[in-house]
Structure 1
Amino acid sequence: MRRGILRAVRRVSVVDVFFRVIGLGLAATGLAHLAFTGLFARISAPVFPENTKAWVRVNGLSEAAIGAALAGRRTRLAGLIGGLVYLAHLADHVVAAVLRWVRSPDRGESVTHGESAAGKGGVR
């Protein structure tokens, strides 16, 4: 009995636990994108200004799939590759948003009375 427990403990490595926790957390975050699309749309609007809610759903599905892949040993490499591609996708959108802001003629404008900052771009 004791040997069986020790053998089972040895099989579970710290790296395996790390990837399972990270993967399940990422998958849960992805599912939260689908459950609370409006909340994530408000957060994501500056980076995904057009079709924001659609992008939130796509990103949520991507995160759920990547997280599930990272959680399993056999699919972990695919999850890592997918995660790197997804990070490149997000970085591309963040850089584009920063460049839009830098090149914007009204970037120094303050919010006027009766107008909210969220009302300027709106969430679609």
Structure 2
Amino acid sequence: MTAYGIAHLRTTSEHDDILEYLERIQATLDPYGGRFVIHGGPVTVVEGSWPGTLVAIAFPSMTQVREWYDSPAYRAILPLRTKHLDGDVIMIEGVDPDTHDSAAMAAALRARR
């Protein structure tokens, strides 16, 4: 099942460390099948507020997201980002678009009440 590493970065910076992080991150993703699906860019806010930007990286599985994040290669560059950008990072498993049914999910939630 596809899983994602998602970062909501509330601040942005063009610090030299951030540029180095950007130059080096793909090499840390490749062994784990990670690929950017969202990497910054303009955001159209239609409800609430959204300070900052969004980054989403897709991986073949949750195991691979965790292994990438804990890998020595990624840990070596992580401080380049964390010293200069404020934000939140999560890992989350996706749903199977061929079988996910929101109505069935609602029915199961109702049944638990």
* Higher-RCO chain (CA-CA 8 Å, sequence separation at least 6): 2
Determine which structure has the larger strand proportion and give its number.
Answer: 2
Q: Same fold (TM over 0.5)?
A: no
Relative to the length of structure 2, the TM-score reads 0.28
| Larger Cα-atom Rg | 1
